[in-house]
Amino acid sequence: MPHHLSVRIDPNSGFCFGVIYAIQMAEDLLDEQGYLYCLGDIVHNDEEVERLEQRGLRIINYDELAQLRNEAVLIRAHGEPPSTYQMALENNLTLVDASCPVVLKLQNRIKTSYDRQDQIFIYGKHGHAEVRGLLGQTSGNAVVFENLEELLRHELPANITLYSQTTKSTNSFYRIKDELEQRGYLVNANDTICRQVSNRDKDLRKFAAQFDQVVFVSGTKSSNGKVLYQVCKETNPATHFISKVEELCPSWFQPGQSVGICGATSTPMWQMEQVRDALLAL
Ligand code: SF4
């Protein structure tokens, strides 16, 4: 029996401007030269990476970069530490820099702060590309932590300078700041969470509340995807996470229900459209 679902895609979901810019740059160069090297996944979404690889994008890691000579290499929106720029110089590589302007600004702020000899603590994910780029501004001397418990395991100075990876949750950042202040630390808290992420928080809550079921589409590697999925799930417990259309499960839906489709800042619109079409065909 057909489900007759009424389905709507969140108009505010989909790529943030940083990712749109990087993909646009990659597509322009792919049109021009037929192939392009890119350091790391251009976006944390396997489906979009696959689409671009079919057009000639060649994703490489640091070891492969070290072997490369005389080529152009795209730097994705997450940015890179100074050591990558140094390696490019030594190996005659042309970096096509699609680092997001928001990330570049944060890198500069952290560099200035480090030069002022602030004791820097970065709320972010260990090993994440953006975090490596931020840490590189301090020659590896800042402390990265993923949660309060981890932070408290460090010997903390009386004056703490806090920064955040751009895709972390604003609420958690301020909870950490408050907790430190209650423990008597002087906290210079720099809320450096990207507005493309923190505003989406509010927008998504409003969107998710309107439907019987919500399908959240995101790559499993996206930090921003994990945060925004939790936001939807808190607002509407009938939220289902999928990373591709094949993972849709018809038994989640009752005939006649309304379904909202939304996603992370790394989810392409074409993927949400695929999900919509699959739901309408149930
Ligand atoms: S989430 Fe914000 S900081 Fe990150 S790439 Fe997008 S626009 Fe830039």
What CATH number is given to the structural domain containing 85?
A: 3.40.50.11270
Do 184 and 120 fall into the same domain?
Answer: yes
Domain boundary, last residue among 99, 124, 143: 99
Side chain identity at 25, as an amino acid letter? M
Side chain identity at 198, as an amino acid letter? S
The residue whose CA has the least distance to atom 7 of ligand 1 is 18
Q: Which position among 47, 130, 181, 234 bears the catalytic label?
A: 130
How many domains is the chain built from?
3
Letter string b/e over residues 14-34, b meaning 16 or more CB atoms within 10 A of that residue's CB: bbbebbebbbebbeebbeeee
Residue 214's alpha-carbon distances to 153, 199, 236, 259, 281, in angstroms, are: 38, 19, 7, 5, 17
Residue 189's alpha-carbon distances to 146, 162, 185, 193, 201, in angstroms, are: 16, 5, 11, 11, 20
Do 110 and 91 fall into the same domain?
Answer: no
Residue 256 alpha carbon to ligand 1 centre in Å = 37
Do 66 and 139 fall into the same domain?
Answer: no
Among candidates 20, 19, 23, 96, which has minimal Cα distance to 53? Answer: 23
Predicted local distance difference test score (pLDDT) of residue 45? 84
Domain boundary, last residue among 99, 120, 136: 99
Q: Is residue 206 part of a domain?
A: yes
Residues of the chain with pLDDT under 70: none
Q: How many CB atoms lie within 10 A of CB 173?
A: 21
Do 180 and 210 fall into the same domain?
Answer: no
Told to judge if 179 belongs to the known catalytic residues of this protein, a careful annotator would answer: no
Do 110 and 172 fall into the same domain?
Answer: yes
Do 182 and 108 fall into the same domain?
Answer: yes
Do 108 and 184 fall into the same domain?
Answer: yes
Q: Is residue 220 part of a domain?
A: yes
Residue 190's alpha-carbon distances to 121, 193, 197, in angstroms, are: 10, 9, 16
Q: Is residue 69 part of a domain?
A: yes
Q: Is residue 142 part of a domain?
A: yes
What CATH number is given to the structural domain containing 110?
A: 3.40.1010.20
Distance CA 11, CA 278 (A): 18
Predicted local distance difference test score (pLDDT) of residue 87? 96
Q: Is residue 1 part of a domain?
A: no
Do 177 and 201 fall into the same domain?
Answer: no
Residue 20 alpha carbon to ligand 1 centre in Å = 10
Domain boundary, last residue among 193, 209, 229: 193
Residues with CB under 6 A from ligand 1: 16-19, 77, 100, 102-103, 166-167, 194, 196-197, 265
| Atom of ligand 1 at shortest range from CA of 197 | 1
Among candidates 265, 239, 233, which has minimal Cα distance to 253? Answer: 239
Q: How many CB atoms lie within 10 A of CB 127?
A: 8
Q: Is residue 251 part of a domain?
A: yes
Do 10 and 33 fall into the same domain?
Answer: no
Side chain identity at 238, as an amino acid letter? A
Q: Is residue 64 part of a domain?
A: yes
Q: Is residue 153 part of a domain?
A: yes
Residue 197 alpha carbon to ligand 1 centre in Å = 7
Residue 243 alpha carbon to ligand 1 centre in Å = 20
| Atom of ligand 1 at shortest range from CA of 106 | 3
Do 176 and 255 fall into the same domain?
Answer: no
- Give the residue numbers spanning the domain of 137: 102-193
